[in-house]
Chains A and B, each alone.
Chain A
Amino acid sequence: MSDIKITRRGILKGGTIAGAGLAMPTIFTSSAWAGGHSGFTNAPTGNTVTLGFNVPQSGPYADEGADELRAYQLAVEHLNGEGDGGMLNTFSSKALDGTGILGKKVEYVTGDTQTKSDAARASARSMIEKDGAIMITGGSSSGVAVAVQALCQEAGVIFMAGLTHSNDTTGKDKKANGFRHFFNSYMTGAALAPVLANAYGNDRKAYHLTADYNWGYTTEEAVKNSTEALGWETVAAVRTPLTQTDFSSYIAPVLQSGADVLVLNHYGGNMVNSLTNAVQFGLREKMVNDKNFEIVVPLYSRLMAKGAGANVKGIFGSTNWHWSLAQGFTDASGKKVAPDAASAAFVKSFGEKYGFPPSQAAHTCYVQTILYADACTRAKSFKPSAVGEALEGFRFDGLGNGPTLYRAEDHQCFKDVLVVRGKENPTSEYDLLEVVEITPVDQVIYDASIFGGELGGFNNGA
């Protein structure tokens, strides 16, 4: 490619004669991606390092995105040694010392994914090409996560996924430069099924309503397989369009089908609407097969649960993290679980700064930033391959989920999964879910090869 460079230089010199009088070109480099200086994309040169926070700021997930952004700002403060340090104090790795990352002050740029993969990629590319971001993180859907992850692989920067729950992100669409802390559909199924069987018995007939896209498919499959293994029967699984707002025509036939459990594989606005509709239809007051009719929402988000209001009461689901861990709780079997120090530290610094507790999206984004910074510090480099190797197989604790493993084979975190239930008597507008069980990691782990896909090698870019 060097010959092209020379000819281009000739042309451009001619074209910039006016400018050349004022200043001679100082650097003239060729790189696959802008800003390459020392062997990898966007290697930080000054005394600062730039991270790219790519979150939904418009569209239905804007509030979740806003909460992610709050967490990122908090993480940056803590990395730079401001504030109370949050979970840096409880984190098992002590490599970070509050002087930024490798002595460079952490700066950040923000962008709007609009929860559309095109917009998310445009935003991420501008961070990489224009702002010199060395790592991209954030997002609130699996479509966006997969799209941006592929981009980061191409560009040679690290991608630390935000909220993305589909198996695909670290399954069939996994990439070496991408890492996910959030749990996935498979783990939801594995964690939820035993709790459901305990609460509702092994002889149940389930009716699935599933959002008609990839995440819905993987969640339906996971919940179906895990519950069927415990003796449940799946009566029907009906796909509902993403753009559906009124689910009445899907919910009305449920009672006639002889099912006694309704599983809503919906997220976000779909979940709020389908759950509200199901409760309106009075399903939960019905008796079917001499059993009380029940509703299950596999993936809960507290922010979204708020939209469903009182309808979530008593409904089981799973979540990656919940702020009430900070206060301890009594689980389903009556066992007292002590407060988690790491969660308490995080809730405290987040709550004191913003006035309300963090969501699970905020938590995973905060943790991802800390993990990235820690990996750079341990690798003593920002080079994606070095950082990636530091993350692969990394075992840590003290970030709110107990002992956790960043598995090398698929770059997925393995940790305990929380099973939660809508709270009957909430004391505030944040107090909507209660943790009923912490499913140990051994129950939710799976073989890395079952979802296919190919990790490939690290890409350092230029």
Chain B
Amino acid sequence: MMSIMKGRVLVVDDDTALAEMLGIVLRGEGFEPSFVADGDKALAAFRESKPDLVLLDLMLPGRDGIEVCRLIRAESGVPIVMLTAKSDTVDVVVGLESGADDYIVKPFKPKELVARIRARLRRSEEPAPEQLAIGDLVIDVAGHSVKRDGRSIALTPLEFDLLVALARKPWQVFTREVLLEQVWGYRHAADTRLVNVHVQRLRSKVEKDPERPEIVVTVRGVGYKAGPN
């Protein structure tokens, strides 16, 4: 089911014991981990190992996790999962805003971690040929591209998933909880800030005027829906 090609995980963490433990768990689940302990070397390691997913500790020597996240996001849409000890601080929001797709709070159980990683990697497993339209955007689901007037817009896989989820059912209003389940793969209620932050990031890319969104419309008190075609 999971190809080896889809299993490369870069672990950016300065705690060697945790990194080693993460390696043991990831190998046990069939992933192929590589490690880097320093924020300054993270980007080089990322370019070198070309991972399918990055596990990123927010507190790092050298460049901190937020900065590393931003740098990686600048050149790749690869899924990034943050490891953080602080779930209720602004760090989480800042991390999400700087491009992380998801986060997991220490201490976590191995199963939890693996589930999060699988959820991020699962996405492009079965690309069915499908053409969707939302607003003035044309989405090619199989080709993984979004175009406005023939010009393609670069989205991260997560943002793409979010947009596709909304575009598939333009008549439906999605609550944040539903989006968390459909896009992030959370079974139970989780942090709705994930949705808020990523909707903002998505809007900044696809909306003509992010202040007055037309593609991803907020339904006050409920959630989000696709804008009218």
Are these two chains actual partners, yes or no? no
Which residues of A are in contact with B by a Cβ distance under 8 Å? none
Which residues of B are in contact with A by a Cβ distance under 8 Å? none
